Amino acid sequence: MRGLILAMMTTLALVQLASGAWAATRQVPSECTYEMQVWNVNTKSSVNQKIVQHSYNDLLTEEVDPQTGCTVCLEDQVLISIRPLLPFSVCYKIAPQVREVITSLTQKGMPIHSLVGYHVIKSRGAADANGNRTGFSNHSFGTAIDINSELNGLYDNCIEFGPQCRLLRGGKWRPGAPGVIESNGDIVYAFKQAGFRWGGEIKGNQKDFMHFSMTGY
């Protein structure tokens, strides 16, 4: 089944490269396919990896992002290749904005070393009796991206950034260092202009300095 996923990704990439207007002429898929995993709060690791495949007409409410209408389906994702970054995927509905922003930033020489987009994982919502999260992340819908995670970590206990903040994932956030994302920097400005919010400015207990999405979460 993993071979099927890889084959589908290759086919979709060729179709998207052949037509710059893919989103505008897109036909509704007949199938929904995705590879997913679940974040376990007890082991602090991903578990229950599996491949899901069903009719696109049978999408569950939880498989559709209520804000954008993007889904967890691989068939709704667009592969973007911008050198020198490795290719990444996002939902077709936001792909033009993301491609434009990242292209502009890289052409300006912004230090963008790594980028992650579409990645299906249940890492939000309440945890069940086994410690497994029950809600899909924004990455699962292809509506969020992480930039330079090795320099811009995810913290909790962090209503305001300070020594009390606890690093959960990624690298330590050190403002002023090359590749570090800051509120007054070009990367945050460019994404805000495109309608995204930065995870470093989200309200609440967490700060996700690598993260951009429509909601910031």
pLDDT, tens digit (0-9, with 9 covering 90-100), for 195-205: 999 999 999 99
Amino acid at 191: F
Question: Which pLDDT does position 71 carry in this prediction?
Answer: 98
Judge whether 147 and 187 are in contact, CB under 8 Å: yes
User: Could you give the CA distance from residue 144 to residue 153 in angstroms, rounded to a whole number?
Assistant: 15
Question: Which pLDDT does position 24 carry in this prediction?
Answer: 58
Question: Which pLDDT does position 216 carry in this prediction?
Answer: 86
H/E segment holding residue 22: helix 22-25
- pLDDT < 50: residue spans in the chain: 1-22
Question: Which pLDDT does position 15 carry in this prediction?
Answer: 38
User: Could you give the CA distance from residue 1 to residue 145 in angstroms, rounded to a whole number?
Assistant: 26
Exposure b/e, 8-37, CB count within 10 A at least 16 = b = ebeebbeebeeeeeebeebeebeebbbbbb
The pTM of this model reads 0.87
